Amino acid sequence: MTKMIRNSQQGGRRKSNPELSEAEWMIMKVVWENEPCAAGTVQEILQHSKNWAYSTVKGAMDRMVEKGFLKISKIRNLQLFSSTISQEEAQKGEFKKMLKRAFDDALTPMMQFLLESEDFSTNDLKQMRLMIEKAEKSRKSTK
């Protein structure tokens, strides 16, 4: 049995609604699917879509540790990265950023815009109605 030395590094303070850059999203998707993983693993997976050097990926991941999106576990001289935010938290942050920027934090105008500008199928609209009804029932049961 080999002896493992673990050392966790927590990055900076985590935001309640994280806002990831485009590159950070790409890295996080790989980490979520493969965690814990080394920067080299992330670079190899992204090589098919991006031509990023190892140093580019590793530097970005180190900055993501500082921002509190990733943490590092060390096993001897191997650094393994894990997420500190879930995909749902990241999606919520992205949504809130878009809602604030494009619709001044107002949900109803955003929904109106979507309904008027997108060509939703009958099935899409039916699913949305069901989600709204479910949310209404959930609210009534908690009151």
pLDDT at position 139 is: 87
pLDDT digits (tens, 9 = 90+) for 103-142: 999 999 999 999 999 999 999 999 999 999 999 999 888 7
Given a contact cutoff of 8 angstroms between Cβ atoms, the answer to whether 57 and 39 are in contact is yes
Distance CA 101, CA 108 (A): 14
pLDDT at position 66 is: 96
From 2-6, 10-14, 54-58, the region with the lowest mean pLDDT: 2-6
pLDDT band with cut points at 50, 70 and 90 for residue 14: low
pLDDT band with cut points at 50, 70 and 90 for residue 16: low
pLDDT digits (tens, 9 = 90+) for 18-72: 889 999 999 999 999 999 999 999 999 999 899 999 999 999 999 999 999 999 9
List, as one string, the DSSP characters of 19-46: ---HHHHHHHHHHHHH-SB-HHHHHHHH
Domain positions in the chain: 6-87, 106-143
Query: pTM for this one?
Result: 0.77
What are the structure tokens assigned to 42, written together?
Answer: 């992330």
Domain at 6-87: CATH architecture: Orthogonal Bundle (1.10)
Listed residue (90, 83, 87, 58) closest to 69, CA to CA: 83
Helical H runs in 6-121?
A: 22-34, 39-46, 54-67, 87-103, 107-117
Distance CA 108, CA 94 (A): 18
pLDDT band with cut points at 50, 70 and 90 for residue 89: very high
**Cis link prior to 36 (omega < 30° from 0)?**
yes
Amino acid at 72: I
pLDDT at position 5 is: 33
